[in-house]
Amino acid sequence: MEVINGHKKWGFQGNPELIASSISVRGVLTKLMANRNKDDKRPTIPLGRADPTEYPSYRTTPVAPDAVADATYSYNFNCYPPTVDDVYLTAGCTQAIEIVVSVLARPNANILFPRPGYPQYEARASCSKLEARHFDLIPEKGWEVDLDSVEALADENTVAMVIINPSNPCGNVFTYQHLKEIAETASKLGIFVISDEVYGHLAFGSNPFVPMGVFGPTVPVLTLGSIAKRWIVPGWRIGWIVTSDPNGIFHQSGGALTQILKHTKEDFYSKILTTIRGAADILYDRIQEIPCLTCPHKPEGSMVAMVKLNLPLLEGIIDDVDFCMKLAREESVIVLPAFGSNPFVPMGVFGPTVPVLTLGSIAKRWIVPGWRIGWIVTSDPNGIFHQSGGALTQILKHTKEDFYSKILTTIRGAADILYDRIQEIPCLTCPHKPEGSMVAMVKLNLPLLEGIIDDVDFCMKLAREESVIVLPGVTVGLKNCLRITFAVEHSALEDGLGRIKAFYHRHAKKE
Ligand SMILES: *Cc1c(COP(=O)(O)O)cnc(C)c1O
């Protein structure tokens, strides 16, 4: 054993898949922050992270903390979250991504991600050994999906495509027509759509936000969401996965399980029942002939029975364990320390009286215990599970329209400032005016600059000289672009863009 500094060599290390997968946003932001000039007395303008919680204009609605306080003090919601029909609660959208990607990762499968995109997807796919392929978003077409590249990338092992709408990092909102084309393309390819709508409803341009779920009749959709962005509480880890699949495609593609449930003939079940019932009869009759054993209740279900041991009738047997040990030794019969007139009644029939979660599996009835297939079924026609959604339900229900519209006005104003100020900075172009989310992609015209190698170099020098933090595009999959978060106080945004302009003038290539 290798011993270093008095302890055994540590046997753990980080997952190299995670480290290898793309340059992390957090890592780059940390580097940029560290590169600031300590002597710059001006406040730092953070245009890198989509977290405006430090600004008064972006304070969440009081409905949200009130709902959390009420739910907490009611003590009714300390349980694990229930699963309601088509909605699965998660710890933020981040966990929704983790779950969906890891569930899809079967050997040889691949998944289609947008470029530029949200690097969390790549990191999870790489961790789960799910092959990531990238289709392009076209800046000249308002960052629409290049559907030809989707068709070119997909093959028989492609499981799904991811869209982010409203878009992070591009700031666009897909039209109804484009979403319809996405749905039709996916349907043609036999893949489903994962729609990341974490910025859902944060649409302030001319395209209204259309949830992908409306195309559920065309293609099965998994919608991922969270309260982080719309309610401006990114530290609150509450998210969800919603299925929109009115045709039950997800269910049909349950594969073997669905086939087994559907196609097993009644006579298989009855034959097995007859066999087991016969065995139960033998057990019960023969037990009668063994004085030291009594069967208090004739078995009428399952495959096992409890039998009482009459120890006083035996000599030299201490207890049940001793009986079983000696029986194994002397007779090579192995027994361990609940069939008849009552028909089996599923508890779910009492759903109208009390909400029921039924757990089951194919292990026992189909006698395939090695097949790891089980299920959870909700029987809750009164929607009790749904009512007990706690704070989240309250927040969704009671947030007033004016909170949403105030936030939208603030973000729209910020997007206008960004777009106008960018026009005045020759080395930057914004191919598409942001109309949703809190971020925009801006192109960097490197030939207009002197001594700046690429987007990372630009951002590092900007942090150093101007204490302005923006994210290099390479971190979201597009080199020599910048991702600028404009959800900051308007004055801070003006200040930040003024500093970027000054930075440009200092580094502009001389004629
Ligand atoms: C912020 C963000 C997430 C993560 O959401 P959380 O609820 O904070 O975990 C997922 N996808 C996109 C596109 C995001 O911008």
pLDDT tens, residue by residue, 425-475: 999 999 999 999 999 999 999 999 999 999 999 999 999 999 999 999 999
Asked whether the bond before 169 is cis by omega within 30 degrees of 0, the reply is yes
pLDDT at 457: 96
Closest CA relative to residue 151, chosen from 161, 164, 140, 166: 161
Closest CA relative to residue 437, chosen from 143, 18, 153, 69: 143
Average pLDDT, the chain: 85
Q: What's the number of domains the chain is made of?
A: 4
What is the CA(94)–ligand 1 centre distance, in A?
6
* 296 DSSP 8-state letter: S
322-326, 348-352, 370-374: range with lowest mean pLDDT: 370-374
Closest CA relative to residue 236, chosen from 47, 362, 352, 93: 93
pLDDT tens, residue by residue, 253-271: 655 545 555 666 677 777 7
Residues 6+ apart with CB under 8 A from 187: 218, 219
Q: Are residues 352 and 223 in the same domain?
A: no
Asked whether the bond before 166 is cis by omega within 30 degrees of 0, the reply is yes
Tell me how far apart the alpha carbons of residues 203 and 223 are, in angstroms, rounded to a whole number.
Answer: 17
Whether pLDDT at 5 is above 70: no
- What radius of gyration do the chain's Cα atoms show? 31
For the full predicted model, state whether its pTM sits above 0.75.
no
Tell me how far apart the alpha carbons of residues 445 and 509 are, in angstroms, rounded to a whole number.
Answer: 11
- Residue 296 CB-density burial (10 A; 0-12 exposed, 13-18 middle, 19+ buried): exposed
Whether pLDDT at 385 is above 70: no
Q: Is residue 69 part of a domain?
A: no
Q: Are residues 289 and 238 in the same domain?
A: no
Which of 169-199 are b and which e, b meaning 16 or more Cβ less than 10 Å from the residue's Cβ?
Answer: bbbbbbeeebbebbbebbbebebbbbbbbbb
CATH (domain of 461): 3.90.1150.10
What is the CA(164)–ligand 1 centre distance, in A?
10
Mean pLDDT of 193-200: 94
pLDDT at 339: 39
Q: Are residues 95 and 238 in the same domain?
A: yes
What is the three-class DSSP state of 193? strand
Q: Are residues 52 and 97 in the same domain?
A: no
Residues 6+ apart with CB under 8 A from 103: none
Mean pLDDT of 489-510: 96
**Residue 2 zone, left/alpha/beta (φ > 0; ψ -120 to 50; rest):** beta
What is the CA(92)–ligand 1 centre distance, in A?
7
What is the CA(231)–ligand 1 centre distance, in A?
13
Q: Are residues 181 and 303 in the same domain?
A: no
Q: Are residues 373 and 456 in the same domain?
A: no
What is the CA(224)–ligand 1 centre distance, in A?
9
Q: Are residues 413 and 473 in the same domain?
A: yes
Whether pLDDT at 21 is above 50: no
- pLDDT exceeding 90 applies to what percent of the chain? 44
Q: Could you please report the per-residue DSSP string of 259-287?
A: HHHHH--HHHHHHHHHHHHHHHHHHHHHH
Q: Is residue 204 part of a domain?
A: yes
Structural domain range at position 299: 266-331
Q: Are residues 91 and 195 in the same domain?
A: yes
pLDDT at 341: 44
Residues 6+ apart with CB under 8 A from 250: 192, 220, 243
pLDDT at 269: 73
Q: Is residue 3 part of a domain?
A: no
Whether pLDDT at 111 is above 90: yes
What is the CA(468)–ligand 1 centre distance, in A?
23
Better pLDDT: 293 or 358: 293
Return the best residue to mutate from 98, 198, 232, 437 for the ligand 1 pocket (most ligand atoms within 8 A of CB).
198
pLDDT at 340: 41
Tell me how far apart the alpha carbons of residues 51 and 69 are, in angstroms, rounded to a whole number.
Answer: 23
H-run or E-run covering 181: helix 176-189
Q: Are residues 95 and 239 in the same domain?
A: yes
Return the best residue to mutate from 26, 60, 93, 167 for the ligand 1 pocket (most ligand atoms within 8 A of CB).
93
Q: Is residue 217 part of a domain?
A: yes
Whether pLDDT at 372 is above 60: no
Q: Are residues 213 and 272 in the same domain?
A: no
Of the three residues 323, 352, 387, the one that is the final residue of a domain is 387
Residues with CB under 6 A from ligand 1: 92-94, 118, 164, 168, 196, 198, 226, 228, 234, 239
pLDDT tens, residue by residue, 286-326: 989 999 988 877 777 777 777 888 889 999 988 887 888 88
Q: Are residues 164 and 235 in the same domain?
A: yes
